[in-house]
Structure 1
């Protein structure tokens, strides 16, 4: 896995074979950030990365100048990996790694974000509630977006905040505003 662009462009980070997260592929990540690059200047964007897994999305945002970034991960091994890797990459001041259950954490947040990204396990049923939770708790700044990475079996097109969908391979990114 690698960082696509920014100050750490080309830097690689390794994930062990026993790591249980399903990271966003470089191919899909590149597509996502090409879309975002046309919408935002990344410097000083406030980002919330839910179900962070390896931290790859957080590292990409940090490399492009986003700050602060809150990387939320429940699995202790993944949390530790993100925390240690953020320090090793020099992102310690930008990425705040929090070990928490996303569904318990969201109602406690008293901050708004420019971008919220969620890449939950594709088979986790309760994730269908994420768009409603984000908007119910007013977690986005004006002109902020929520991006939900999912498989083809989820359809958010009828959600009142749904904006568009971007597909790359077997990965879908639903955008909400």
Structure 2
């Protein structure tokens, strides 16, 4: 697998050999990044959850993201992400959290401009995780989130403060783009 655009274009990255890990294809990564580049205003802080090989976050770094936090629970995948960061020369612009996503959400203490999610296609709890994420302090004023998922899974139009903007099909994969809905905040009560 290779990085498809940006400073690290053409560099080969390692992918896990386990069948449980299904990295996003070049077509899906390219489509996701194009969709995000048209919407996301700031790429200073990026969160890549269910990272696997880290291909989405690595692609973001290659295209100019300031910093990426990778969250992956499998130790072997975390080691691969670290190797891939060295390969593309971006180890100083990233942190790898070898934790499951719900645990990481409770530990991460900053807001993200872009969130990338490529969960396992068989993950039946993804809706619950996205709802928690959408209501968490990780969501900033202009957060944009992209989720790849199976065409057999229907995602909700809204997760917490995130509202779906669009969804595109690529083979058996769908890419859903969400953005923080500022009208949600206007319905919150002010200070008492």
Aligned counterpart, 2:166: 164
Cα distance in 1 for partners of 2:56, 2:157 equals: 27
The two structures, once aligned, show a CA RMSD in angstroms of 1.8
TM-score by length of 2: 0.84
Report deviation, 1:126: 1.1
Unaligned runs of 5+ in 1: none
Distance 1:13 1:163, change over 3 A: same
Aligned counterpart, 1:7: 7
TM-score by length of 1: 0.91
Report deviation, 1:41: 5.7
Cα distance in 1 for partners of 2:94, 2:9 equals: 17
Larger radius of gyration: 2
How many residue pairs match? The answer is: 176
Cα distance in 1 for partners of 2:40, 2:103 equals: 29
Deviation beyond 3 Å, 4+ runs, structure 1: 16-20
Report deviation, 1:157: 4.3
Q: Does 1:121 align with 2:116?
A: no
Distance 1:5 1:41, change over 3 A: farther
Unaligned runs of 5+ in 2: 180-192
SS of the residue aligned with 2:69? strand
Contact 1:145 1:175 in 2 (8 A): yes
Cα distance in 2 for partners of 1:16, 1:36 equals: 26
